[in-house]
Amino acid sequence: MTGFNEPASTQTALLLLGRGTDSGSERGVDCPGELPAPSDPDLVERARAAKEKLGGNVFILGHHYQRDEVIQFADVTGDSFKLAQQAAARPDAEYILFCGVHFMAESADILTGDHQQVILPDLAAGCSMADMATASQVEQCWEDLKRVGIADVTVPVTYMNSTAAIKGFVGREGGLVCTSSNAERALRWAYDQGEKVLFLPDQHLGRNTMVREMGYSLEDCVLYNPHKPNGGLTDEELRNAKIILWKGHCSVHGRFTLECVEEMRRLDPEVNILVHPECKHEVVEAADYVGSTEYIIKKLEAAEPGSSWAIGTELNLVRRLANQFPDKKISFLDKTVCYCSTMNRIDLPHLVWALEELVAGRVPNTITVDAETAGYAREALDRMLALP
């Protein structure tokens, strides 16, 4: 094996894994630091048996970023909002078992009936982006905007990847929720209601939508840091801004860099760069195609056989797509691991445990949003659903 330019520890790991490729010059859907081997086959049989006993009383949702060993048991797969809608469309299912993260289960609880219980197999499955905007921080930001005299002309918009508390705040203050697919429509609606937008919690989706899709400049955007007085901004900066972006980001999509794009183009001049709008602005600007998870899937479905693609999104999904479309060359945009670590807390052992608890008559890890918060959050979601 020759040509390694990685640190000695990485070279050792590659050797132990039996890998002879140069990780500094090649891309693929395999990389050092893979998840552990698939779970014990006995767990697969236990999951099947428990699900069969529960029948139509349980409905399992699987987010695209889940590992394959979990996805195989999902009744439906999709992004966070699609899954919450699917749960609401199954009123006969007493138990909604959400293989995703905490904010997604909250959205399902908001949209489903009172007779249904939403279960998260591992309560530690959170979202670092959602955690970057707490209710107290956002309330303080709103007080800052009131003091500066702009709160009454500012419409709050929150990305789906936020807690129920933040969705509730937005609903209470006359704003709405958006997804990565409808962010432009949501922002245009917001500007019909007011002069400015407070965009929570993902700065990159807000910035990319404003600049790439709506024609605003980077100077129209300011970044509010909740850990600094007045967000680290002057009163004049707040007053002059068209959009106040929250200092939050996705820990997965934020890892992709302009250097990743440039290196992929050097390695393969014919490659198509396809990334999620949660990526940094310079990455999105350098990409060929930008879109939501559903957009990425549909783009690859329609792609020409033999075409080459480098995908900037979560690795479980990229690997699944590479297996699904073997007639296309599908690679991961970065050369380092980019799993969603919190999403991957939902593994087969947790799923089996949750199913077997239900079979035993015990309901584990229920996610419940209080009525007041749920009411305001539902208002924000309904405004999104009413978008033209």
Cβ–Cβ < 8 Å for 46, 348: no
CA distance 289 to 160: 22
Residue 31, annotated ligand binder? no
User: In terms of Cα–Cα distance, which of 310, 226, 219 is closest to 260?
Assistant: 310
List, edge to edge, every strand of the sheet that includes 117-119.
Answer: 76-78, 58-63, 95-99, 117-119
Residue 132, annotated ligand binder? no
Residue 160, annotated ligand binder? yes
Residue 102, annotated ligand binder? no
For tokens 């982006």, what's the residue?
129
Q: Which amino acid is at 232?
A: G
Tokens found for residue 306: 């033999």
The region, left, alpha or beta by phi > 0 then psi within -120 to 50, assigned to residue 347 is beta
Residue 225, annotated ligand binder? no
Instruction: Provide the β-strand partners of residue 329.
Output: 308
Give, as one character, the DSSP assignment of residue 93: -
Contacts of 296 (CB under 8 A, 6+ apart): 274, 276, 311, 313, 317, 321
Give, as one character, the DSSP assignment of residue 63: E
* Residue 273 host element (H or E): strand 272-275
- Burial tier of 352 (Cβ tally within 10 Å: 0-12, 13-18, 19+): buried
Residue 230, annotated ligand binder? no
Contacts of 263 (CB under 8 A, 6+ apart): none
Q: Pairing mode, if any, of strands 176-178 and 221-224?
A: unpaired
Residue 161, annotated ligand binder? yes
Cβ–Cβ < 8 Å for 184, 209: yes
Residue 129, annotated ligand binder? no
- Burial tier of 326 (Cβ tally within 10 Å: 0-12, 13-18, 19+): exposed
Residue 127, annotated ligand binder? yes
HEC letters along 275-290: ECCCCCHHHHHHCCEE
Other Cβ atoms less than 10 A from the Cβ of 52: the count is 10
Residue 251, annotated ligand binder? no
Residue 201, annotated ligand binder? no
Residue 340, annotated ligand binder? yes
Residue 293, annotated ligand binder? yes
Cβ–Cβ < 8 Å for 160, 80: yes
Question: What residue numbers does the annotated binding site for iminosuccinate cover?
Answer: 63, 80, 159-161, 180, 276-278, 293
Question: What residue numbers does the annotated binding site cover?
Answer: 63, 80, 127, 159-161, 180, 250, 276-278, 293, 340
Question: What residue numbers does the annotated binding site for [4Fe-4S] cluster cover?
Answer: 127, 250, 340
